[in-house]
Chain A
Amino acid sequence: MKRFVKVFWVFLVCILVLSSTACKRKSSENGKLYLYNWTYYTPDNLVAKFEEETGIDVIIDNFASNEEMFAKVMAGGNKGYDILFPSSDYTQIMIKLGLLAELDHEKLPNLSHIAPLIREKATYDPHFSYAVPYFMGSSGIAVNTERVEGAYERSWAIFSDPRFAGRMSLLDDMREVMGAALKHLGFEGNTTDEEELTMAAELINKSWKPNIVKFDSESFGKAFSRGEFVVVHAYPENVFAELPSENWPSIDFFIPAEGGMMYIDNMVIPVGADNIENAHTFINFIHNPENYALFLDAFGFPPTTNTGAAQYMKNTDFFFSVEDLAHSDNIQDLGPDLEIYNQLWQTVRYEH
């Protein structure tokens, strides 16, 4: 028995030593900054540069969807994080609920580099009083041209193509998929018209769903890179990140001509954040064109958001261009009308 107890203590000490060595974090001279960003959306080298320049210790948590972030922020009594990165619809909700702190533009001189187009699209907060755009982008369709034979339509109609049945995926995201169907039918992507929405749901259920394998927002990039899926409804960065760059030419990524759902991801400071000063420093740092170019290069994004960044970028071959977004609609909050979407989406996701 004594021996067991001894072994136990050795075990305990081992764990303690391990955890204390793992504890060896760099000391933070100028305080901390808690970010809550999308998974795979904050380049490590950019964070390292920020920490070095400012002496602020950055702690990052990740979320996979706006809803997940929002649920956590609501549940946590809106405390703990200094900068959140919601998309436009959730920025709109959070402004409406009074969850966001007003920004001090004197500390954000770099906002002058932000593209004029965004001011047009950001109807929820055109003067950036609460939210500074982080990136404006869009979902689209990625096709693996090596595994697809013959011509295909570069539109949402590709999901009706029986040749690719069993090798396609749609995002597991109500607004993205319903929006795509609405745009394909020529409607507005934020419509609340019940008839239009029913038609959209019918299109998905009758024409698209039989051909797809999965509604996937989690690992479509990995499945695409393995060859499991050849056509995916996707965010381009997730697809390209999974493949080595020599394979990139074989991927055809496009935003359908009829338009799709686009997004503006914002940086916002929640009311009651502990490090408001540091948060401003970070937002301003990001929009320094040199730094912003680092961010864009890390993911292969086009300079849609910060016009000054283009000249500093190494990468010139983008997944899509600003012009591709011309016909796309920015996802907006629909308030109580969202319930119509929910009802129809239930038939898509849960019935068969």
Chain B
Amino acid sequence: MNYHKYSSKSGFSFSYVMLALVIVFLFIPLFVVVFFSFNSARGMQWDHASLIWYKRLIFESPSLWSAFRNSLIIALTSSVTATVLGSLAAIGIKWYRFHGRSYITTVSYLPMVLPEVIIGISMLIFFSAVKVRLGMFTIFAAHTTFNLPFVFMMVSARLDEFDYSTVEAARDLGANERQTLTKVIIPTIIPAVLSGFLMCITMSLEDFVITFFVSGPGSGTLPLYVYSMIRYGVSPVINALSFVMILGTMVIAFIFRKFLKTVAASS
């Protein structure tokens, strides 16, 4: 039968060519950066292969490492906070009707779509109005805010597929609220929670625009450091750093390969 063209999974077609081209397109810049990270010369002219920029990166860039440390601390703390708050809220909103429910649902979409510039500026103005000292805390607060919606959405999507009668059954069997939460609900939503956490970590490590506005004394993160390198400074170290970061991303994505579909579904 010639009919089952669409449900069959084979064939060479326009869409496959397009996809292949797009993947090449997406990877070209990464290859270029990696290629030049092994160039011994400073500029765009290829000289000969060398690891000099990696040496510089590892041994001669103390401020880079302290920026990296800040980035990790903020990524971890904000992701954990966002994951806990977001998951709990998803459970609450899915199963209970209470005052403020629709407010929370609506407002939780917004930080995800609003341009980063707006979130950054509104937070800068807010912190300056209430006289909070800019620094690690303000970055943490900002990152948690833009991370929360992703956890909330992923966990909500997972809960949509979950049958509430299981919870009722657990209650009928005498489980209290805490037991229901830890024995029934959490095991079910854990894949979504983990993907949410993962998404938070990567977004937090990546964010530049919002961090740019709310950073303060001694709280510069890695993207801020990269930005100052793009402007001036020893350029090729940035290529070496990029390769290390790309490798890191690949490792994270590989560890969590089972969750990639959940990640895709929510972004």
Contact = CB atoms under 8 A, between A and B. Distances in A.
Nearest to A41: B232
B232 A19 contact: no
Interface in B179-213: 187, 190-191, 194, 197, 201
A219 B230 contact: yes
Contacts of B194: 4-5, 8
Interface string A222-254: 100110000000000010011010000000000
A75 B258 contact: no
Contacts of A60: 63
A61 B225 CA distance: 10
Contact of A40 (B68, B215, B233): B233
B235 A222 contact: yes
Contacts of A222: 230-232, 235
A80 B76 contact: no
Contacts of B75: 15
Contacts of A326: none
B115 interface: no
Nearest to B194: A8
Contacts of A36: 217
Interface string B111-134: 000000000000011011001111
Most A C-beta atoms less than 10 A away, residue of B42, B69, B252, B259: B69
Nearest to A35: B217
Interface in A182-200: none
A221 interface: yes
B105 interface: no
A77 B231 contact: no
A72 B72 contact: no
A23 interface: yes
B190 A1 contact: yes
A242 B232 contact: yes
A18 interface: yes
Given A76-B128, A80-B216, A22 B191 contact: no
A226 B232 CA distance: 13
B217 A81 contact: yes
Q: B-side binding surface: helix, strand, loop or mixed?
A: helix
B242 interface: no
B44 interface: yes
Contacts of A16: 76
A80 B72 contact: no
B135 A80 contact: yes
Interface residues of B, number: 44
Interface string B127-151: 1100111110000000000000000
Nearest to B62: A44
A59 interface: yes
Contacts of A39: 228, 231-233
A225 B43 contact: yes
B109 interface: no
A13 to B, nearest CB: 12
B92 interface: no
Given A22-B69, A219-B231, A77 B43 contact: no
A75 B233 contact: no
A7 interface: yes
B190 to A, nearest CB: 7
B109 to A, nearest CB: 27
A19 B69 contact: yes
Interface string A51-77: 000000001111010000001101111
Most A C-beta atoms less than 10 A away, residue of B124, B190, B228: B228
B255 A11 contact: yes
30 contacts: A1-B187, A1-B191, A4-B191, A7-B255, A8-B197, A11-B252, A11-B255, A15-B76, A15-B201, A19-B69, A19-B73, A22-B69, A23-B69, A25-B66, A39-B233, A59-B218, A61-B220, A62-B228, A71-B124, A72-B134, A76-B135, A76-B216, A77-B128, A80-B216, A80-B218, A218-B230, A222-B231, A226-B43, A238-B232, A242-B232
Closest 7 CB pairs of A and B: A80-B217, A75-B128, A22-B69, A19-B72, A76-B134, A77-B131, A59-B218
Given A19-B72, A225-B42, A226-B43, 10 more contacts: A4-B191, A11-B252, A11-B255, A15-B72, A19-B73, A61-B215, A76-B216, A76-B217, A81-B217, A238-B232
